[in-house]
Amino acid sequence: MPFEFEEILETIKMTEIEHFDIRTVTMGISLRDCVDRNIEVTKQKMYDKILKYGSNHVKYAQEVEKRYGISIANKRISITPLSIPLDAFKWEDFVEVAKTLDKAAAEIGIDYLAGYSALVQKGFTNGELELLKSIPYTLSETKRICSSVNVASTKAGINIDAINLVAEAIKKTAEMTKDQDSIGCAKFVCFANAVEDNPFVAGAFHGISEPEVVLNVGISGPGVVLDAIKAAGSCDMNHLADVIKRTVFKITRAGELLGRKVAEQHGIPFGIVDVSLAPTPAEGDSIGDILMAMGLADIGGPGTTAALALLNDSVKKAGLMASTNVGGMSGAFIPVSEDQGMIRAVENGSLCIEKLEAMTCVCSVGLDMIAVPGDTTAATIAGVIADEAAIGIINDKTTAVRIIPAYGKKVGDSVDYGGLLGKAPIMSVRNINCSTFMGRGGRFPAPTRSLTN
Amino acid sequence: MKLSEDEIRRITLTAINEMGDDATPELVKKAVSRAVSKLDTQPDFSKSTSSNQGRLILTSFGLNQTGVVAKITTELSECGCDLQDISQKLMDDFYTLIVIVDISGSSKNMSEIQEKMNKIAEALKIKIYLQHEEIFRQMHRI
């Protein structure tokens, strides 16, 4: 037999018991050639192009799922940051285009279409300002559109004015989607050092250096890693890192195969595999549970950051060994609402925003899916984003904030979105005023790359 | 036939290159129809070509009962599949069966065979998974 009995059973166990699935196959489509001075023509061109490339996206992904017996949770599309093709338009036009894109997404049956984005780390163009203004309207009037704004980078510094505008947009989005627990905010993320080939929403977009069309894949699989760590029992850190690497190696290889096959079916180039451990609200499919299996009594106490760093570093190393096309975020995600272990830790009072912030220094993204009281001020939200952006640019890594100031809710309540977005307990945030600091505006200069102490 | 703007632009450029200043309505017509017929022969990515090639690995487990292996293998041979290796293990009342199946000679494609296996699995209350061999090679071999 070409494979050992145990090898075959291990694969079956991963997919059937340990929730191993591919989180997303995301098709990136450039919309840079879809612009016309007439907004109606622009809308039609964008709609046609998405249908041209994306019509079979769901069908091909399902065929590949069947062939290999591994499910693909989400089928998505990412587009050129929309402020680029629409730079000459007004904010009302942006909303109209978003509705057309939402219609195209529904037509081809994908889960999300992301790229309602602007890259403003150094400054704004007129179109980018219009896009920022339109975000609350778009997120409240569409279902599948995800938005992101890059406000900082190691090369450019932090655009504080952009952060202040984004914070206002988040507050307004929360209010405009108050009937659905402020769900609009769950579809918006603010980045520092955003990557151009990220297949995960809400932050996916088809970067300006990407080809015409490309297929990226994002893996998942915390459940598989959790079981491997449990099976390893009491071993030292070296061995623990090795166990994580061996497991992630296998799931990366599987992810790459599925991504390549979907790309092959489409006849388009394969881009990257994003080696990210993305949790789901399902029991056992949790990063929090992994950290506890590593030996922590709960998430949020001393040792949490170190445990997460070990996990994150091992995931990256294994991914790089398994595939030459590693890209995107590639690490461990720590979204609160999408992870049972994290939700429990918040409800127990073990995990607070400040500890989460420390954890983002070593994880792959940032403060993700965090619900805070509805009366949190825009200045406080801006302060939280600025802190995260500072961590990102100083440490030369991607950081992000996806925060939900849940309208009308207070600490002790929760918001429940169901599905992959999960349920978020409202976390307390220190309302110590930073409005004078953030109100200074301007640009936080780019950091030095030497004297890194 | 619906042509995209891109294709129209390409055809126009071809025509300009070929004819230059000598263009007559007839020549233009000929060049265009030649270019359009070339478009037709470009590969069509919408057809899936790989669904009945190569080897599959069938894994089945459940409560052991008379005729489980026979039912599965009979159905596979009726589909024209070649069974290249079979391995079975028993643990108390449970069995695990792994079969390497070559479907290159089968008239059925993978999803049709999967459909038939699902029926057996349902009738016997067992589990049957059918996956392409590539996934195991990718995960367990460097």
Model pLDDT for residues A406-447, shown as the tens digit of each residue: 999 999 999 999 888 999 999 999 989 999 999 999 999 999
Q: How far is CA A317 from CA A27, A79, A241, A326, in A?
A: 25, 29, 10, 10
Residue-range definition of the domain harbouring residue B62: 55-140
Question: Is A5 inside any structural domain?
Answer: no
Q: Supply the pLDDT for residue B49.
A: 43
Mean pLDDT of A43-54: 97
More confident residue, B47 or B42: B42
Tokens of A372: 């805070």
Question: Is B45 inside any structural domain?
Answer: no
Question: In this structure, which amino acid lies at residue A37?
Answer: R
* A324 vs B: CB within 8 A: no
Task: State how far the Cα of A441 lies from the Cα of A448, in Å rounded to an integer.
Answer: 21
Task: State how far the Cα of B15 lies from the Cα of A261, in Å rounded to an integer.
Answer: 37
Residue B21 binned pLDDT confidence (cut-offs 50, 70, 90): confident
Residue-range definition of the domain harbouring residue A53: 18-192
* Confidence check: pLDDT of B28 > 90: no
Looking at the structure, do residues B63 and B12 belong to the same domain, yes or no? Answer: no
Q: Supply the pLDDT for residue B12.
A: 76
Q: What letter would DSSP give residue B35?
A: H
Q: Please report the ipTM that was assigned to this predicted complex.
A: 0.83
Model pLDDT for residues A93-117, shown as the tens digit of each residue: 999 999 999 999 999 999 999 999 9
Of A132, A53, A149, A41, nearest to A95 by C-alpha is A132
Mean pLDDT of B110-126: 93
Looking at the structure, do residues B9 and B65 belong to the same domain, yes or no? Answer: no
Q: Does residue A265 contact residue A64 with C-beta atoms inside 8 Å?
A: yes
Chain A interface mutation, best of B127, B131, B141, B142, highest count of A Cβ atoms under 10 Å: B131
Tokens of A75: 């089928």
Looking at the structure, do residues A283 and A318 belong to the same domain, yes or no? Answer: yes
Q: Tell me how close the Cα of A55 comes to any Cα of chain B, in angstroms.
A: 10
Looking at the structure, do residues B60 and B29 belong to the same domain, yes or no? Answer: no
* Confidence check: pLDDT of A330 > 50: yes
Number of folded domains that form chain B: 2
β-strands A145-153, A112-119 pairing: parallel
Q: Supply the pLDDT for residue B45.
A: 41
* Confidence check: pLDDT of A171 > 70: yes
Which residues have a Cβ under 8 Å from the Cβ of A271 and sit 6 or more positions away? A28, A197, A210, A214, A215, A216, A263, A325, A327
% chain A with pLDDT above 70: 100
C-beta atoms of B135 and A3 within 8 A: no
Q: Supply the pLDDT for residue A333.
A: 92
Looking at the structure, do residues A72 and A187 belong to the same domain, yes or no? Answer: yes
Residue B38 binned pLDDT confidence (cut-offs 50, 70, 90): low
Number of folded domains that form chain A: 2
Q: What letter would DSSP give residue A377?
A: -
Q: What is the mean pLDDT of chain A?
A: 95
Give the H or E element holding residue A370.
strand A367-373
Looking at the structure, do residues B35 and B104 belong to the same domain, yes or no? Answer: no
Model pLDDT for residues B48-73, shown as the tens digit of each residue: 444 556 899 999 999 999 989 999 99
Considering only CB atoms, B45 lies closest to which of A3, A9, A267, namely A267
Q: What is the dihedral of CA A424, A426, A427, A432, to 10 degrees?
A: 140
Chain CA centroid to CA A393, Å? 18
Question: Is B65 inside any structural domain?
Answer: yes
Mean pLDDT of A330-337: 92
The CA angle A263-A267-A272, to the nearest 5 degrees, is: 30
Residues of A in contact with B46 (CB under 8 A): 56
